[in-house]
Amino acid sequence: MAQNRFKRGSGCFNCRVCGRLTRDTGNDNGNVGLCPECLELSGQQNEHSDRRHQGNFDQCQECQSQLSGKAKKHLADHSDLFN
């Protein structure tokens, strides 16, 4: 039974947006293959286009105000991936 110690989807994987090694934190990020920050950012990026905010997502004050500190830092580090 040792092989089944980790339940499906709870292992480590590389985020398909930023490529870093991450793990399933139980908020569905594993199902979509994203690290928690990229998951948050892609959700906010959808908001940005759905609500027709002005300008680029990575520069958007309205979106920045919605994001957690970690997601904001991730966006600053990977702004080329989210614009």
How far is the C-alpha of 18 from the C-alpha of 79, rounded, in Å? 10
How far is the C-alpha of 42 from the C-alpha of 82, rounded, in Å? 8
Kindly tell me which residue out of 24, 29, 30, 35 binds Zn ion, with binding defined by CB under 5 A: 35
Q: For residues 47-66, which are near Zn ion according to CB under 5 A? A: 48, 53, 60, 62-63
Kindly tell me which residue out of 29, 30, 38, 40 binds Zn ion, with binding defined by CB under 5 A: 38
Kindly tell me which residue out of 17, 67, 71, 75 binds Zn ion, with binding defined by CB under 5 A: 17
E-assigned strand segments in 1-82: 12-14, 21-23
**Nearest of 28, 35, 40 to residue 64 by alpha carbon:** 40
Q: How many helices (H) and strands (E) does the chain have?
A: 4, 2
- Residue count at the site for Zn ion (CB under 5 A)? 10
Judged by CB under 5 A, the stretch of 3-11, 24-32, 45-53, 65-73 that binds Zn ion is 45-53
For Zn ion, the binding residues (CB under 5 A) are: 15, 17-18, 35, 38, 48, 53, 60, 62-63
